[in-house]
């Protein structure tokens, strides 16, 4: 996919300081990782990319088309994206299967039968065929995230947006989810992922963007970004991460 971000800024209502300030980006990729320190604006940028909020100024273009700002077009735009929230965001009172079928029926206009077929297909693909009738509380953290990924994939979105999909998981489940995402990537699913998993950003993502204090300081091919960071901020960010990994 081709992503262009042109002079994008966002100040939340009632606040004086911008959360994102004059962000620019232009590149093509199958998978993009967004990295950076906490509070830098990564989730906010991902929500803008998903059309969940609108910028104060500037624009985002995906494959040449501007993300709309009027409510009706935004609603249409959102249907073409699959969003995975940090905590999975599953409906607790619904089974895994219903978490996938209900949005397909209510938002995307699927029939009950078509939704059921699609959900079963995805549960199988993600190794959850035994778990369709369980509620989120009866699933492990890794299983819950796989259901959230299945739900995001269900209506065959143009791309996935994932906000730290492994941040609440143990190392074992983290690697399980990263493996699933890497498989999806190899099957041609395009994605933009906010992540603290630098190994995944480096080895599974084509491009990486570094967001610090509301500004996109650097982006490029993953390997070159990690091997030869250009800005002192990225150098410092990476050296801090390595401190405990020597």
Ligand X SMILES: Nc1ncnc2c1ncn2[C@@H]1O[C@H](COP(=O)(O)OP(=O)(O)OP(=O)(O)O)[C@@H](O)[C@H]1O
Look at residue 151 and give the partner it binds from Mg ion, ligand X, none, a contact being a CB closer than 5 to 8 Å depending on partner kind: none
By CB under 5 A, tell whether 43 contacts Mg ion. yes
Which C-beta is closer to ligand X: that of 15 or that of 130?
15
* Beta-strand relationship, 2-10 and 57-62: antiparallel
By CB under 6 A, residue 41 contacts ligand X: yes
Nearer to Mg ion, 46 or 126 (CB): 46
- Using DSSP's 3-state secondary structure scheme, residue 22 falls into strand
* Calpha distance 147→159 (Å, rounded): 17
Question: How far apart (Å, rounded) are the C-alpha atoms in residues 133 and 156?
Answer: 23
The token duo for 213 is 């204090």
Q: Which part of the chain contacts ligand X (CB under 6 A), choosing from 38-46, 184-192, 202-210, 228-236?
A: 38-46
For residues 231 and 40, the answer to whether their CB atoms sit within 8 Å is: no
43 counts as binding ligand X under rule CB under 6 A: yes
Residues sharing a CB contact under 8 Å with residue 186, sequence separation 6 or more, in sequence order: none
Q: Rule CB under 6 A: say whether 209 interacts with ligand X.
A: no
Give the CB-nearest residue to Mg ion: 43
12 binds ligand X (CB under 6 A): yes
Q: Does 19 bind ligand X (CB under 6 A)?
A: yes
The residues binding ligand X (CB under 6 A) are 12, 15, 19, 38-44
């Amino acid at each position: 996919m081709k992503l262009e971000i042109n002079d994008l800024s966002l100040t939340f209502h009632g606040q004086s300081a911008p959360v994102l300030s004059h962000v620019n980006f232009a590149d093509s990729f199958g998978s993009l990782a967004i990295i950076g320190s906490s509070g830098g604006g990564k989730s906010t940028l991902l929500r803008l990319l998903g059309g969940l909020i609108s910028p104060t100024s500037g624009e985002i273009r995906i494959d040449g088309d501007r993300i709309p700002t009027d409510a009706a077009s935004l609603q249409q735009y959102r249907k073409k994206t699959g969003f995975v929230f940090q905590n999975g965001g599953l409906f607790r009172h619904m089974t895994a299967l219903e978490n996938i079928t209900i949005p397909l029926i209510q938002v995307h206009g699927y029939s009950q039968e078509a939704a059921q077929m699609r959900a079963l297909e995805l549960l199988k693909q993600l190794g959850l065929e035994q778990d369709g009738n369980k509620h989120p509380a009866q699933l492990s953290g890794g299983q819950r995230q796989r259901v959230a990924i299945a739900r995001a994939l269900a209506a065959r979105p143009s791309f996935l947006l994932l906000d730290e999909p492994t941040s609440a998981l143990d190392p074992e489940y983290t690697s399980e989810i990263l493996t699933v995402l890497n498989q999806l990537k190899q099957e041609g699913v395009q994605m933009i992922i906010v992540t603290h998993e630098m190994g995944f950003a480096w080895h599974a993502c084509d491009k990486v963007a570094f967001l610090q204090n509301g500004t996109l300081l650097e982006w490029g091919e993953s390997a070159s970004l990690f091997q030869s960071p250009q800005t002192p901020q990225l150098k410092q960010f990476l050296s801090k991460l390595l401190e405990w990994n020597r």
